[in-house]
Amino acid sequence: MGDPDPIAGVEIISIRKLNIRWMPVLFLFPSVLCYVLFKYYPLLNMIYVSFFRYSIVNPPGVFVGFSNYTEFLSSATFWQAVSNTFVFFALYLGLTFWIPIVQALLLSDIRRANAFFRFMYQLPTIVPAVAGILVWKWMYNPDFGLLNYWLHFVGLGPYLWLNDLNMTKLAIVLPAVFAGNGISLLLYYSAIKSVPTEILEAAKVDGAGPWRRIWTMLLPNIRFIIVIQFVAFMSGVLLAYDNIYVMTQGGPAGSTTVVSMLVVNTAFQQSRFGISGAMSMFMFIIIALLTVLQNKISAEKD
């Protein structure tokens, strides 16, 4: 028998090294394909369309360069929508973002019926969001809504709620205060439970009270989850549309018109798809910059 061919052995080894596990690839392929088709393709197409005066009859229309960008940037309506968007962001941040964290901290101290309370916190998530918003819109009715009916027993009201320029933004945010967020609560709860109990017990023995343990032990150890949730929260609020549209359609007097609503109205009511794409690109850049800034600040603290 002759000696084995060394070249053939090298080829077999290289083939084995390039061996691909096709089963995971096949399972991932549909989701990756959907993500590319419905996320990346619309994003790239939006960037492309933003440089044209888009024509439905003869797409993409006339190339105008950055003319669409300069047009909406010089519009007072756009900057009012930007202002409304960030006012909503400030209200949501101050009134709602911290609620799941507090709920998770309280829930982590409950020993009996803990699973029951976790289940009850998830129940509101099965209600369609639009259905819940419609219920609140009915409660806000100035003539026969439940809120004014209840408030008159304590000598308050009636309030116009969604028709008052000074109250309408708060009225839109208020349902989120009571609705909570069951998924965020579970994420925070799991993160808190992953903190080693030995650290907390040692701090307790050293005389650290509940507040000090929360600020110096629990919150720093779940900061990674808080940062991730904040990025998702920020993008969700800055792109909010459905709750505002159902409540006020952008009124009264444009006081609740946000950028996402202006994008939709510009595209589908005015058929100005080029300017709509340019505004979408602007918001994409703003959210991307805020996300990078948040990640940089978080990295510096680490």
Q: What is the reported pLDDT for 13? A: 47
Contact 91, 170 (CB under 8 A): yes
CATH of domain 68-301: 1.10.3720.10
Q: What is the reported pLDDT for 276? A: 93
pLDDT of residue 12 exceeding 70: no
Range in 3-12, 129-138, 197-206 the model is least confident about: 3-12
More confident residue, 295 or 173: 173
What's the mean pLDDT when you consider all of the chain? 86
Q: What is the reported pLDDT for 302? A: 62
Q: What is the reported pLDDT for 1? A: 47
Instruction: Tell how strand 62-63 and strand 52-53 pair up.
Output: antiparallel
Amino acid making up residue 242: D
Q: What is the reported pLDDT for 93? A: 93
Q: What is the reported pLDDT for 274? A: 93
Share of the chain above pLDDT 70, in %: 92
Each residue's pLDDT tens digit, 233-287: 998 999 999 999 999 999 898 999 999 999 999 999 888 999 999 999 999 999 9
Share of the chain above pLDDT 90, in %: 41
Q: What is the reported pLDDT for 17? A: 54
Each residue's pLDDT tens digit, 276-288: 999 999 999 999 9
Overall average pLDDT of the 155-172 stretch: 90
Q: How many helices (H) and strands (E) does the chain have?
A: 18, 2
Domain boundaries, the chain: 1-49, 68-301
Q: How confident is the model at residue 3 (pLDDT cuts 50, 70, 90)?
A: low
Overall average pLDDT of the 187-192 stretch: 90
Q: How confident is the model at residue 33 (pLDDT cuts 50, 70, 90)?
A: very high
Each residue's pLDDT tens digit, 50-90: 999 988 888 888 999 999 999 999 999 999 999 999 999 99
Distance CA 142, CA 155 (A): 15
Contact 230, 294 (CB under 8 A): yes
Q: What is the reported pLDDT for 10? A: 47
* Sign of the torsion formed by the C-alpha atoms of 111, 115, 118 and 119: negative
Helices (H), 158-257: 168-179, 182-193, 197-205, 210-213, 219-221, 223-238, 242-248
The DSSP 8-state label assigned to residue 252 in this structure reads S
